[in-house]
């Protein structure tokens, strides 16, 4: 019954549970709260369900407050010039970014997304710590995205060597330029949201031209907008090229696997012979193949050859 279902659910977290534990179990507690709510609608007024619902609701609300506090604390620790991960407003997903400015009134951040070159305004709760590539993603011969000091963005590159000092020597794709970088300046080539790249560049709100702008402000904004669009087109072209390259690699690898499978495939003992003279035999039986004689007319002793049996 409903009481049994309620009892099977995990009890709310104890008071002394750590903040990280509460945050980790947040989705679990939310799901349990919804389930108990459904049970209460089916059996309103049940004291056991009502008590469990109230307890779970308090835990969920407490966790939400703790999460908000944590996010605000992290955001307050971020400084202008720091790398981070930020949510892009167009699709609600996380991307590697750099903090360019902070509005003291709204507390929002101006950021540049370091893979695609877009810029945007981000709320404090949509900022989280920067994450670089793992060592397993940066080995000799691997494709990565490497930091280019001139503009501060990340570009496709190939890892050539790993120095004795632990630096990674990379060659930028399409450019005659090589550099040694620490692991913190390298991202994996495949971004989690690569397939979600927008159709056109997003212009941040502070760069949009307003009627109150003077000619100098308008010209400056136009130049910055042009630069953003140019970088975006370049990133999109790189993505298309990378996707085609990966598709071709997958096609070739698939063909090699199929060819290898065909070579290793064992021939069936019941397979049809390759020629009219072929014979079907039992492999491994120790017996020779069945020996068939040529089909000819049979001549009966003393019979007239003209009256021999005719084959159909």
What's residue 270's pLDDT? 56
Tell me the C-alpha distance between 98 and 153, whole Å: 9
Tell me the C-alpha distance between 80 and 61, whole Å: 32
Burial category of 170 from C-beta neighbours within 10 Å (exposed 0-12, middle 13-18, buried 19 and up): buried
What's residue 96's pLDDT? 93
Tell me the C-alpha distance between 202 and 197, whole Å: 11
What's residue 309's pLDDT? 44
What's residue 109's pLDDT? 92
pLDDT, one tens digit for every residue, the chain (312 residues): 544 444 445 444 443 445 556 667 778 888 888 899 899 899 898 999 899 999 988 888 888 877 766 666 665 577 889 999 998 877 778 899 999 998 888 888 999 999 888 888 898 888 888 989 999 889 999 999 999 998 899 999 999 999 999 999 999 998 889 999 999 999 998 765 544 555 666 676 677 788 888 999 899 988 888 887 887 777 777 777 776 776 676 667 666 666 666 666 665 555 566 555 555 555 554 555 555 555 555 555 555 544 444 444
Edge to edge, what strands does the sheet with 143-148 contain? 178-181, 168-172, 153-162, 143-148, 186-188
Using alpha carbons, select from 78, 187, 203, 170 the residue that is nearest to residue 129. 78
What's residue 111's pLDDT? 94
Tell me the C-alpha distance between 57 and 19, whole Å: 17
Please calculate the CA angle 12-30-75 and round it to the nearest 5 degrees: 100
Tell me the C-alpha distance between 145 and 173, whole Å: 10
């Amino acid at each position: 019954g409903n009481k049994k279902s309620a009892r099977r659910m995990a009890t709310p977290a104890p008071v002394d549970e750590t903040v990280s534990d509460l945050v980790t179990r947040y989705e679990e507690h939310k799901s349990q709260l919804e389930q108990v709510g459904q049970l209460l609608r089916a059996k309103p007024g049940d004291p056991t369900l009502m008590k469990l619902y109230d307890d779970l609701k308090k835990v969920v609300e407490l966790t939400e407050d703790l999460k908000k506090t944590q996010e605000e604390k992290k955001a307050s620790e971020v400084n202008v010039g720091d790398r981070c991960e930020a949510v892009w407003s167009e699709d609600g997903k996380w991307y590697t970014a750099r903090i360019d400015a902070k509005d003291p009134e709204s507390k929002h951040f101006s950021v540049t997304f370091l893979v695609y070159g877009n810029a945007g305004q981000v709320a404090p709760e949509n900022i989280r710590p920067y994450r670089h590539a793992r060592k397993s993603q940066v080995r000799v011969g691997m494709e990565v995205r490497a930091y280019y000091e001139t503009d501060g963005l990340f570009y496709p590159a190939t890892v050539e060597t790993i120095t004795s000092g632990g630096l990674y020597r990379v060659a930028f794709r399409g450019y005659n330029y090589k550099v040694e970088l620490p692991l913190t300046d390298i991202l994996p080539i495949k971004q989690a949201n690569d397939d979600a790249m927008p159709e056109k560049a997003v212009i941040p709100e502070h760069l949009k031209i307003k009627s109150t702008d003077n000619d100098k402000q308008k010209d400056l904004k136009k130049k910055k907008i042009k630069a953003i669009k140019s970088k975006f087109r370049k990133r999109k072209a790189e993505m298309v090229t990378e996707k085609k390259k990966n598709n071709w690699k997958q096609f070739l690898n698939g063909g090699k696997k199929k060819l290898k499978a065909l070579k290793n495939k064992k021939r069936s003992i019941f397979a049809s012979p390759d020629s009219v003279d072929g014979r079907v035999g039992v492999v491994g039986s120790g017996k020779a193949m069945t020996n068939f004689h040529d089909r000819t007319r049979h001549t009966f002793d003393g019979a007239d050859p003209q009256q021999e049996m005719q084959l159909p």
